[in-house]
Amino acid sequence: MSDLRALGQRLVAAGLTPRALAAWSGTDRISSLPWKVSDLSARDPVPAASGLALLVAGAELPLDRVRRLPIDELVAAGLVETIEDRVRARVAIVPLGASLLVCDRAECDDGVELVCWPDDSSVHLARALPPGRRSRWLDLGCGSAFAPLARPELATAIVGVDINPRAVEHARLGAGLSGIEHLRIERGDVLDDWGSAELVTCNAPIPDEPDAAVWRSADAGFFVRLWSAARRSVAPGGEIIVHCTLSAIPEELPGEQLIVVYTPPSTKAFAILWWRPDAPSRRVVGRRAMTPERPHVDLRDRDDAAAGALMPRSSC
């Protein structure tokens, strides 16, 4: 952990920061970068942007163009590889707030073990998490651990769980580079016993997805396991927050369900669920259109749903 943390600090010092990424790429939305990768990687980067070109855009660069980077340490960590007088990133390393996230390169083909580039669903979930310091947070199906890396201040101890060994490896690298010592990543199924937590989260895969190549497609029975595991794992008075399709949320879940759908009526309904199993029983489903000023679901939407201030989904 200490070696990875030191390496992460050197990468940040070399320009791997959100501010530098936004200035170089022209956007502060990580989810939009895959559409820019081919253009960004084709640029001839200035020295200050060499780390971003190599580790974010996936450009293959001459070794003499990356002198600002700790290439030997990156090679030793398995993050880059050298080919004669050139260097190529084996993974993407993306600035995320004060953290560094490790995932597969944006141009990698879809597959069941792909640790994909963060999409907007990751941001929706991270921004939906209430502030405050809890003793324990359990993130089920954590993938690259986007939410814990984006919001590490939310708990004294964080456990991320994923069944994909590649995701576990990448998430551990991200935690190490970011120096987040209270984030532990474990391999296993969501239904395994991971102990109890005041906050339980999941950015769930897509149910009934016909394309087997889609990385986030759910296996048969996943949601049965997820709802059972989340209910069992949440501590008394705790909260479960899930990003998923509306159709995957059972109406019979106990307690309070506040659900905000954010996709247009003509498309598949994706939503954030705030679920408090110990609260008085009620189910509220509303819709909020995304705007350039508020492009992601946030806590204001939860509060508006609780107050009945969102348009009912059935009337949208």
The answer to whether 189 and 141 are in contact (CB under 8 A) is no
* pLDDT tops 60 at residue 213: no
Domain locations in the chain as residue ranges: 2-90, 120-315
Predicted TM-score of the model (pTM): 0.93
267 CA to centre of own chain: 23
The per-residue pLDDT for 114 is 87
22 CA to centre of own chain: 18
* pLDDT tops 70 at residue 116: yes
Structurally, at CATH architecture level, domain 120-315 sits in 3-Layer(aba) Sandwich (3.40)
* pLDDT tops 90 at residue 81: yes
The answer to whether 213 and 255 are in contact (CB under 8 A) is no
Q: Which of the two residues, 220 and 22, has the higher pLDDT score?
A: 22
- Over range 214-240, report the average pLDDT: 86
- Over range 201-210, report the average pLDDT: 81
Tokens describing residue 230: 């989340």
The per-residue pLDDT for 209 is 64
Q: Which of the two residues, 316 and 5, has the higher pLDDT score?
A: 5
* pLDDT tops 60 at residue 315: no
* pLDDT tops 90 at residue 180: yes
* Sequence letter at residue 73: E
pLDDT tens track for 29-40: 898 888 887 788
**Which of 46-55, 161-170, 304-313 is predicted with the least confidence, judged by mean pLDDT?**
304-313
Task: Give the C-alpha separation, 213 to 230, whole Å.
Answer: 27
- Over range 179-192, report the average pLDDT: 96
The per-residue pLDDT for 48 is 84
The per-residue pLDDT for 47 is 81
The answer to whether 119 and 188 are in contact (CB under 8 A) is no
The per-residue pLDDT for 316 is 39
* pLDDT tops 80 at residue 42: no
Task: Give the C-alpha separation, 178 to 15, whole Å.
Answer: 14
Task: Give the C-alpha separation, 192 to 161, whole Å.
Answer: 10
What's the pLDDT band for 302 if we cut at 50, 70, 90?
very high
Question: How high is the mean pLDDT of the chain?
Answer: 91
What's the pLDDT band for 256 if we cut at 50, 70, 90?
very high
pLDDT tens track for 15-25: 999 999 999 99
Give percent above pLDDT 70 in the chain.
93
The per-residue pLDDT for 261 is 97
Going by the DSSP 8-state scheme, the letter that residue 206 receives in this structure is: B
The per-residue pLDDT for 313 is 58
